[in-house]
């Protein structure tokens, strides 16, 4: 789907990109100064490669040095969301959203305003000034404005930078909704492996080498499933906590404890009390560090979430082992190498995954941002 094969030179910095991806969302990760933004700017047309080609297979050719092709920015039909929201302060939410839509050829419009208003829960915000919005609301407006140009490719450059954990979870949930509902391919650039692994189907890893003359050479050294490149990514970026995000529906609330019950394809999750309304769709985030693995029948615990499952895979990085467990959904637990040995864990083994309800973070789309 996405075909990139080019070299870009900026002073003492050289970026070599060879990348072909059919994924709905392709992640791009690397260290600060590793060339992620330069790659995005080359796609947009702000920076011109010294040689090579950039395009979407069978659809669009943006740049080809051999054929003399270099489409201007406005003809590339790319939607872009930078870490700065770059909204027009003199326009209200609706006017910002429709800015690109009105300038898009009607014959090329594939997305309608009402569809995006609904997907991003912006219908009640349309008359507000953008200066009165929260950081998360502004980010949603920026994403919606990019989508309403009906782009052939959506580029997201560090879209969660500057957001606190709650707003980050919320924007990630909206990106997962867009991924599910829309057929627009995306490139998601970030230095956060956790954000990338939540949204992306495959990840391209940028690595940088510096020679004795202090010239930097960055290249795509690996493309694969997020877990497949975990150990290599850990060498160039801070991994942080691995997380799993599961979409579900709130089906009930315990009147005594207030805990909500979320169902997702047979998996039952108890989440913290927070006045959540039954029938609401939500996204539940599970940190790998919060999962306890029990071999055999688990002991009686205060934890409400005890899920039977099967170990599917192990990935080692640094002194941590990420264990993938199928409990109806594939979740990831982080253990020490010593714990894995002591428990005798192996692929195919039946285990129980245990998580406290208060450890699960829940986002209900459409609810008020905090």
Task: Give the residue extent of every domain in the chain.
Answer: 2-233, 243-364
Q: Which two structure tokens, joined as six digits, stand for 327?
A: 């409990």
Quote the pLDDT of residue 369. 63
Q: Work out the average pLDDT over 32-40.
A: 93
pLDDT at residue 301 is higher than 90: no
pLDDT at residue 152 is higher than 70: yes
| pTM summary value | 0.85
Label residues 284-315 b or e (16+ Cβ within 10 Å = b): bbbbbebbbbeeeebeeeebbbbbebebeeeb
Q: What confidence category does residue 348 fall into, taking pLDDT thresholds of 50, 70 and 90?
A: very high
Query: Do residues 20 and 185 lie in contact, with contact meaning Cβ atoms separated by under 8 Å?
Result: no
Q: What confidence category does residue 327 fall into, taking pLDDT thresholds of 50, 70 and 90?
A: very high
Among the ranges given (237-246, 319-328, 346-355), the one the predictor scored with the smallest mean pLDDT: 237-246
Q: Work out the average pLDDT over 73-88.
A: 92
Query: Torsions phi, psi of 120, nearest 5?
Result: -105, 10
Nearest to 38 by CA among 179, 214, 206, 180: 206
Nearest to 31 by CA among 232, 268, 273: 232
Quote the pLDDT of residue 238. 74
pLDDT at residue 80 is higher than 90: yes
**How many angstroms separate the Cα of 173 from the Cα of each of 195, 207, 244, 285, 364?**
11, 29, 12, 10, 9
For residue 330, the cross-strand partners are 326
Question: Both ends of the chain: CA-CA distance in Å?
Answer: 38
**How many angstroms separate the Cα of 74 from the Cα of each of 70, 151, 284?**
12, 11, 39
Q: Work out the average pLDDT over 65-94.
A: 94
Quote the pLDDT of residue 368. 60
Give tens-digit pLDDT for 197-246.
Answer: 999 999 999 999 988 888 999 999 999 998 888 878 888 787 777 899 99
Considering the segment(s) 2-233 as one domain, its CATH architecture is 3-Layer(aba) Sandwich (3.40)
Q: Which two structure tokens, joined as six digits, stand for 131?
A: 């200066």
pLDDT at residue 370 is higher than 60: no
Give tens-digit pLDDT for 248-297.
Answer: 999 998 877 789 999 999 999 999 877 678 888 899 999 999 999 999 88
pLDDT at residue 82 is higher than 70: yes
From the number of C-beta atoms within 10 Å of its C-beta (0-12, 13-18, 19+), residue 110 rates as middle
Quote the pLDDT of residue 229. 87
Go through the chain and tell me how many residues it has: 370
Query: Do residues 134 and 125 lie in contact, with contact meaning Cβ atoms separated by under 8 Å?
Result: no
Among the ranges given (92-96, 170-174, 333-337, 365-369), the one the predictor scored with the smallest mean pLDDT: 365-369
pLDDT at residue 15 is higher than 60: yes
Quote the pLDDT of residue 274. 72
What CATH number was assigned to the domain covering residues 243-364? 2.40.50.100
From the number of C-beta atoms within 10 Å of its C-beta (0-12, 13-18, 19+), residue 14 rates as middle
Pairing state between β 281-287 and 243-253 = antiparallel
Q: Which two structure tokens, joined as six digits, stand for 39?
A: 């790659």
Radius of gyration of the chain (CA): 22
Among the ranges given (88-97, 182-191, 240-249), the one the predictor scored with the smallest mean pLDDT: 240-249
Quote the pLDDT of residue 367. 64
Q: What confidence category does residue 317 fall into, taking pLDDT thresholds of 50, 70 and 90?
A: confident
Pairing state between β 267-271 and 260-264 = antiparallel
Instruction: Round to whole Å and give the CA distance between 161 and 191.
Output: 10
Domains 2-233 and 243-364 share a fold: no
Q: Which two structure tokens, joined as six digits, stand for 305?
A: 């979430």
The rounded percent of the chain whose pLDDT value lies above 90 is 74
Mean pLDDT value across the chain = 92
Query: Do residues 201 and 20 lie in contact, with contact meaning Cβ atoms separated by under 8 Å?
Result: no
Which H/E stretch holds residue 171? helix 165-181
Instruction: Round to whole Å and give the CA distance between 171 and 4.
Output: 28
> Angle at CA 239, nearest 5°, toward 316 and 365?
115
pLDDT at residue 164 is higher than 90: no
What is the number of H-type helices and E-type strands within the chain? Answer: 8, 21
Quote the pLDDT of residue 273. 76
Among the ranges given (70-74, 213-217, 318-322), the one the predictor scored with the smallest mean pLDDT: 318-322
> Angle at CA 151, nearest 5°, toward 157 and 192?
20
């Amino acid at each position: 789907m996405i075909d990139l094969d080019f070299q870009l030179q900026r002073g003492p910095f050289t970026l070599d990109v060879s990348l072909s991806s059919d994924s709905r969302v392709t992640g791009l990760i690397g260290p600060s100064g590793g060339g992620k933004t330069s790659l995005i700017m080359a796609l947009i047309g702000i920076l011109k490669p010294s040689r090579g080609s950039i395009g979407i297979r069978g659809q669009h050719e943006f740049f080809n040095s051999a054929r003399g092709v270099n489409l201007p920015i406005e003809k590339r039909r790319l939607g872009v969301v930078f870490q700065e929201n770059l909204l027009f302060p003199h326009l209200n939410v609706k006017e910002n959203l429709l800015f690109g839509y009105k300038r898009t050829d009607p014959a090329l419009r594939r997305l309608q305003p009402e569809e995006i208003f609904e997907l991003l829960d912006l219908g009640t915000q349309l008359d507000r000034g953008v200066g009165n919005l929260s950081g998360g609301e502004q980010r949603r407006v920026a994403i919606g404005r990019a989508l309403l140009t009906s782009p052939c490719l959506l580029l997201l450059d560090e879209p969660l930078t500057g957001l606190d954990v709650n707003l980050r979870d919320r924007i990630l949930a909206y990106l997962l909704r867009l991924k599910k509902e829309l057929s627009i391919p995306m490139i998601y650039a970030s230095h956060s492996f956790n954000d990338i692994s939540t949204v992306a189907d495959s990840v391209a890893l940028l690595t940088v080498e510096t020679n004795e003359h202090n010239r930097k050479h960055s290249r795509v050294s690996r493309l694969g499933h997020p877990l497949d490149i975990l150990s290599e990514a850990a060498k160039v970026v801070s991994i942080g906590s691995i997380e799993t995000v599961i979409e579900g529906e709130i089906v009930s609330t315990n009147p005594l404890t207030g805990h909500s019950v979320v169902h997702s394809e047979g998996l039952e999750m108890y989440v913290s009390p927070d006045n959540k309304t039954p029938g609401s769709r939500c996204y539940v985030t599970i940190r790998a560090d919060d999962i306890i693995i029990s071999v055999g029948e688990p002991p009686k615990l205060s934890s409400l979430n005890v899920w039977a499952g099967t170990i599917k895979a192990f990935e080692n990085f640094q002194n941590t082992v990420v264990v993938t467990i199928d409990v109806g959904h594939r979740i990831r637990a982080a253990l020490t190498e010593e714990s894995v040995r002591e428990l005798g864990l192996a692929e195919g083994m039946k285990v129980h995954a245990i998580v406290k309800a208060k450890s699960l973070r829940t986002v209900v789309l459409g609810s008020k941002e905090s």
